[in-house]
A and B are shown apart, each in its own frame.
Chain A
Amino acid sequence: MAGTMQKRGRARRVTGILALAFILVGLYFALIGAPPDAYQGEVQRIMYVHIPSILTAYLSFFIVFIGSCLFLWKREKRDDILARSAAEIGVLFTSLTIIEGSIWGKPTWGVWWTWDARLTLTAILLLIFVGYLMLRSLIEDENRGAVCSAVVGVIGFLDIPLIHMSVYWWRTLHQPPSILRPDKMPWENVHPSMLIALAVNFAAFILLYFYLLSLRFRVGEMEEEVKTLKLYGGAS
């Protein structure tokens, strides 16, 4: 048992160090190595954090879904801790995605917010995550809280494709696809170092995500153990 813990701790540390390395290299490429975009200028550099952020947020949500499904099926505390940790980190990355998108939007479209499909979808994702966490904190019985939030985790994920479809239809049927094309990625003049910047930053975010997740998961496990010890092993 102690052996696995040590192995996990070592894997975590390695991930952390790799993450740091990729982050630093990624920062170099994002801010210096890659050239400014032909149309958007320097502001386009925000995409090097924005795209990895949104992908990490969706990954997190997927992990919440898996954890919730496993928990509902097998009722092992471990899966609940996984789901809870992924939800917490997911809220973080989703909020960051929205902030980055907003900051990118101001010089590009002139507004801090627009109800375009991508931003709207990310906002909805955030709402579902927040609902998950709020439900947890407002239900007093631990086990019931875990089951109920797992239900939100499962249904939320199943709903995502439907939300996606409905929001995209709504936006494309109602906005003239002329001046504002915020969903269009400027892939025309893609300099190779731009792709490298994106790839490195993407790897950096994924590594950082798993580092944070494993840390947070370990914290959850230990807190659970503390609770059990206090309940059954405590002072006479």
Chain B
Amino acid sequence: MSAWGFVFLAYGIVWFALLVYLGNVIRRFRKVESELSSLRSSGGLKKNA
């Protein structure tokens, strides 16, 4: 493998992994955000019952 091959391999893996993780966190963020808002709107009235 040429020198540039190694460079692109390294950079490729790094940014791919970081993007995958970022996507993962954002997905989790959206999921918990919607869960939280639905819980707040539906369960809020009963919370202090």
Whether the complex brings A and B within 8 Å at their CB atoms is answered: yes
Task: Give chain A's interface secondary structure class.
Answer: helix
Chain A residues within CB distance 8 Å of chain B: 27, 30-31, 41-43, 45-46, 49-50, 53, 89, 92, 95-96, 99-100, 103-104, 106-107, 208, 212, 215-216, 218-219, 222-223, 225-226, 229-230, 232-236
Task: Give chain B's interface secondary structure class.
Answer: helix
Check A219 against B39 for contact (C-beta < 8 Å): no
Check B36 against A225 for contact (C-beta < 8 Å): yes
Q: How far does the alpha carbon of A95 sit from the alpha carbon of B9 in the complex, in Å?
A: 15
Check B25 against A103 for contact (C-beta < 8 Å): no
Which A residues lie within 8 Å of B1 (CB)? 107
Residue in chain A with minimal CB distance to B35: A226
Residue in chain B with minimal CB distance to A230: B39
Check B10 against A229 for contact (C-beta < 8 Å): no
Check A219 against B29 for contact (C-beta < 8 Å): yes
Check A208 against B25 for contact (C-beta < 8 Å): no
Interface extent on B, as a size class?
20 to 34
Chain B residues within CB distance 8 Å of chain A: 1, 3-4, 6-7, 9-11, 13-14, 17-18, 21-22, 25-26, 28-29, 32-33, 35-36, 39-40, 42-44, 46-47, 49
Q: How far does the alpha carbon of A31 sit from the alpha carbon of B11 in the complex, in Å?
A: 10
Which A residues lie within 8 Å of B26 (CB)? 215
State which of B6, B17, B39 has its C-beta within 8 Å of the C-beta of A233. Answer: B39
Check B21 against A229 for contact (C-beta < 8 Å): no
